[in-house]
Copies of this chain bind each other. A is one copy, B any other.
């Protein structure tokens, strides 16, 4: 493909291709203040209770992806509450980058029906017990995220809510995540 204009010292102005994959981690609370945790069958975090996580599909909203992944992995119905934090990492997939959004959700059902392909176990757990797992605390990032979740349960943390609006002048629907 011709990407340099004539004269050739002028840079091309083609927009860059998609550069990021997007994933979510779901912090789901039930009415008793317990959180939903899973143990995965494979991967780095086997043996540790962790947040349900998953990839955001092409064309999918982050807040919807969190609800879908929780339903798929655990059978729990939820509604999106707030986006608590996100991390950006690089070279995580064939040179591409990765954005991982921690979403807080409220459970609308309580009876767990785990998905067998990827999930070893799923249960409701006290947040303090989750946050005190030794392997989790070996990861600086996981430790901070656990602290944010604990702070949120004590109403000492302000996340971003999702507002359905329209983008630019085109009128397409989109979500804005902000603290308004």
Which A residues are closer than 8 A to B by beta carbons?
15-22, 44, 55-62, 84-91, 93, 95-97, 99, 138-142, 144-145, 147-148, 151, 157-160, 163, 165-169, 172, 174-180
Contact = CB atoms under 8 A, between A and B. Distances in A.
A16 B57 contact: yes
B87 A174 contact: yes
Contacts of A174: 87-90, 141
B55 A176 contact: no
A99 B141 contact: no
Nearest to A157: B179
Contacts of A163: 144
A151 B180 CA distance: 9
Which of A61, A163, A167 has the most chain B CB atoms inside 10 A of its CB?
A167
A20 to B, nearest CB: 4
Given A18-B96, A60-B90, 7 more contacts: A17-B96, A19-B56, A19-B58, A20-B21, A90-B174, A145-B176, A151-B180
